[in-house]
C-alpha cells in the first residue's frame, strides 16, 4: 500500500509542450485527463480513433486553423498516464506551439506541473517509483552507458530484483509469524525452518543487488575530481589532457588560473567532473585570493583530490605530505584534508628521467603516488585507471541498471535490518525481534519502488522532472 495522500484528480486535465523550447521541425503537445475527448473534438472537429494517427488541422475556432499535423489519441487505461491522452504533433516554432497550447487551456486543461504526467503514471500503477525516476535519468543521461542502464531500469530490471528480494523476506516473515503463533508446540520452528541459513541467503542476494546499484549510481552521478597544487605544477595542462581539448589557458606565468574551470569526461561509461583550480600560494591580489578560497572550498567537496607537484622543483610523497601541506598558501587545507581522498601527482617525470609509475597507498593514512608527464601524456592511463579503482567502478559489468543515492540508502538500511535480525536470532533466538527487523527491512525495500512512500518524497522526486514529462 502506498502511504500517500497524492492522487490523480478525477476532474483535472493537464497539458504541456513535451519538446524543448526553440525552433524544430516537429513540436509535441501532450494532454491527459478526463476532458481529453471533449478537447480533441473542439480542436480537431471530430472524435479521433484510439491508437490511430490522424493527419489533420488543429482549429482555434470554427474557421481559424492554428496548425496542421498528427493527432494521436490513447484511451485510458491503455496509455502512459493510465488516463485518456491526446498527443498533438505539429510544427516546432515557439509561437505555433504556444498558440495551440493556449487553445487547449482555453478548452479546459491546465498547465501541467513538472513531472506530472509521470506522476500520474505512477499513481495509476502504470509504473513504479524506480521506473518513474528512470525516465528522468534517461532524459538526463550523459553517456551511452547511462542511457542503456536507465532504459533497463525503466523496463523494470531493477524493480524485479527488488521484488524478488522482498518476496524472500516475506517468506521468512510468514514462517516467523507462524513460529510465534505456535510457541506451545514441541517443534523448534527456528531450527527446523533453517531461518539462519535463509537469512544469510537473503543477505547474499541483497549484497549482489547493492553492488549493482553502486555501479548504477556511479554511471548516473559519476565522481568529482579536483586538481589542486601550487602554481605552474601542470594543473591546467592535466585538465586539458583529460578533457581532450584546450579548455584552460596554459602559460609560464604563475597564477594564470584565477577561478574554477570544470569539464566532464567519460571513463568507460563513468562520468567524471574534473575541476582545475587556482594555484595555492600567498598572494596580495584580491582576485587571486578569491580564486584560492574557491579552490580550497572545491577540495573539501571532491571525491578525489589530485595534488599536483612539479617534481623538478620538489619531492612530495607519502612521507613528507603533512609538511608539504603546511607550506605558505595552503591555508586550511592541511587541517581539513582527508588523506584517504588524496592522490599525489608527481608531474614532469620526463624532465627527471623517471618512468611513469603508480605506487598504491599502504593504508588510509598514505595517499597513492603517480609519476607522470602531462606534456608527453605518459602515465595518463595509470591515472584514469586509478580514478575508476577509487570509486570501485567496473566497466565490464553487463545488464546493469541505473540507481540513485536514495536507492543505495534504502538498500543499506535493509542490510542493517537483516544483520540485526541475524544477531537477534543467533544470540537470543528471539523470533519476535527477528520478525520486527524483517518488517523494517521489507518497508525500506518498499521505499525504492514506491510501495511505501510519503508525499514529501514523491513531491521532491517529480518536481525535478522537466515540464511535459
Alpha helices of 68-194 — where are they, by DSSP H?
94-106, 116-123, 129-140, 144-154, 157-181, 189-192
Cα gap 226→276, rounded to integer Å: 6
Quick check: 62 and 79 in contact, CB under 8 A? no
What pLDDT was estimated at residue 352? 86
The CATH number of domain 154-219+404-449, selected from 1.20.120.430, 1.10.10.10, 3.40.50.2300, 3.30.70.1060: 1.20.120.430
Fold observed for domain 222-391: Rossmann fold (3.40.50)
Parts of the chain with a pLDDT under 70 = 1-10, 178-193, 247-258, 329, 331-336, 395-399, 453-454, 456-457, 460
Q: Where are the domains of the chain?
A: 14-127, 154-219+404-449, 222-391
Quick check: 267 and 384 in contact, CB under 8 A? yes
Quick check: 228 and 403 in contact, CB under 8 A? no
Quick check: 357 and 331 in contact, CB under 8 A? no
Of 269, 251, 260, which Cα lies nearest the Cα of 398?
A: 269
What pLDDT was estimated at residue 76? 92
Strand partners, 275: 226, 262
Question: DSSP states of 247-300 as a string?
Answer: -S---SSTT---S-EEEEEEETTEEEEEEE-PPPS----HHHHHHHHHHHHHHH
What pLDDT was estimated at residue 248? 59
Question: DSSP states of 329-393 as a string?
Answer: T-TTHHHH--GGGEEEEEE-HHHHT---EEE--SSTTS-EEEE-BTTTTBTHHHHHHHHHHHHT-
User: Cα 301 from chain centroid?
Assistant: 17
Query: Three-state secondary structure along 189-202?
Result: HHHHCCHHHHHHHH
Domains 14-127 and 222-391 share a fold: no
Q: How many residues does the chain have?
A: 469
Of 158, 202, 160, which Cα lies nearest the Cα of 403?
A: 158
Cα gap 16→117, rounded to integer Å: 9
What pLDDT was estimated at residue 359? 86
Cα gap 356→349, rounded to integer Å: 7
What pLDDT was estimated at residue 395? 67
Quick check: 312 and 233 in contact, CB under 8 A? no
Q: Which CATH architecture has domain 14-127?
A: 2-Layer Sandwich (3.30)
What pLDDT was estimated at residue 6? 44
Amino acid at each position: 500500500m502506498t502511504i500517500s495522500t497524492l492522487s490523480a484528480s478525477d476532474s483535472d486535465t493537464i497539458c504541456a509542450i513535451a519538446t524543448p523550447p526553440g525552433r524544430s521541425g516537429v513540436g509535441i503537445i501532450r494532454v491527459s485527463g478526463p476532458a481529453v475527448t471533449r478537447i480533441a473534438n473542439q480542436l480537431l472537429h471530430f472524435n479521433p480513433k484510439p491508437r490511430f494517427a490522424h493527419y489533420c488541422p488543429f482549429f482555434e475556432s470554427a474557421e481559424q486553423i492554428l496548425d496542421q499535423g498528427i493527432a494521436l489519441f490513447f484511451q485510458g487505461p491503455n496509455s502512459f498516464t493510465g488516463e485518456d491522452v491526446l498527443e498533438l504533433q505539429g510544427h516546432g516554432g515557439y509561437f505555433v506551439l504556444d498558440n495551440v497550447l493556449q487553445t487547449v487551456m482555453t478548452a479546459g486543461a491546465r498547465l501541467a506541473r513538472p513531472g506530472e504526467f509521470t506522476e500520474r503514471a505512477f499513481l495509476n500503477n502504470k509504473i513504479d517509483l524506480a521506473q518513474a525516476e528512470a525516465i528522468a535519468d534517461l532524459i538526463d543521461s550523459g553517456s551511452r552507458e547511462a542511457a542503456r542502464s536507465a532504459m533497463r531500469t525503466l523496463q523494470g530490471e531493477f524493480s524485479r530484483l527488488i521484488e524478488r528480494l522482498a518476496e524472500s523476506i516475506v517468506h521468512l516473515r510468514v514462517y516467523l509469524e507462524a513460529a510465534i503463533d505456535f510457541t506451545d508446540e514441541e517443534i523448534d520452528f527456528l531450527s527446523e525452518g533453517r531461518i539462519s541459513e535463509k537469512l544469510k541467503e537473503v543477505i547474499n542476494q541483497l549484497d549482489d543487488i547493492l553492488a549493482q546499484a553502486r555501479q548504477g549510481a556511479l554511471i548516473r552521478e559519476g565522481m568529482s575530481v579536483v586538481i589542486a597544487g601550487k602554481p605552474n605544477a601542470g594543473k591546467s595542462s592535466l585538465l586539458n589532457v583529460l578533457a581532450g581539448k584546450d579548455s584552460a589557458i596554459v602559460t609560464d606565468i604563475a597564477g594564470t588560473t584565477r577561478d574554477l574551470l570544470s569539464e566532464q569526461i567519460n571513463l568507460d561509461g563513468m562520468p567524471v567532473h574534473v575541476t582545475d583550480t587556482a594555484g595555492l600560494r600567498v598572494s596580495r591580489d584580491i582576485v587571486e585570493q578569491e580564486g584560492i578560497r574557491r579552490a580550497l572550498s572545491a577540495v573539501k567537496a571532491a571525491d578525489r583530490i589530485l595534488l599536483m607537484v612539479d617534481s623538478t622543483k620538489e619531492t612530495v610523497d607519502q612521507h613528507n605530505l603533512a609538511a608539504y601541506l603546511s607550506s605558505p598558501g595552503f591555508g586550511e587545507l592541511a587541517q581539513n584534508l582527508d588523506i584517504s581522498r588524496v592522490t599525489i601527482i608527481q608531474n614532469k617525470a620526463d624532465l627527471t628521467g623517471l618512468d611513469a609509475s603508480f605506487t598504491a597507498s599502504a593504508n588510509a593514512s598514505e595517499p597513492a603516488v603517480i609519476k607522470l608527464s602531462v606534456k608527453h601524456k605518459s602515465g595518463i592511463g595509470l591515472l584514469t585507471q586509478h580514478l575508476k579503482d577509487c570509486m570501485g567502478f567496473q566497466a565490464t559489468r553487463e545488464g546493469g541498471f541505473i540507481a540513485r543515492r536514495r536507492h543505495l540508502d534504502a538498500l543499506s538500511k535493509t542490510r542493517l535490518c537483516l544483520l540485526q535480525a541475524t544477531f537477534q536470532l543467533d544470540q537470543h533466538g528471539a523470533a519476535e525481534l527477528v520478525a520486527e527487523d524483517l518488517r523494517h527491512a521489507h518497508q525500506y525495500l518498499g521505499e525504492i519502488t514506491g510501495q511505501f512512500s510519503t508525499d514529501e518524497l514523491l513531491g521532491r522526486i517529480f518536481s525535478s522532472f522537466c515540464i511535459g514529462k
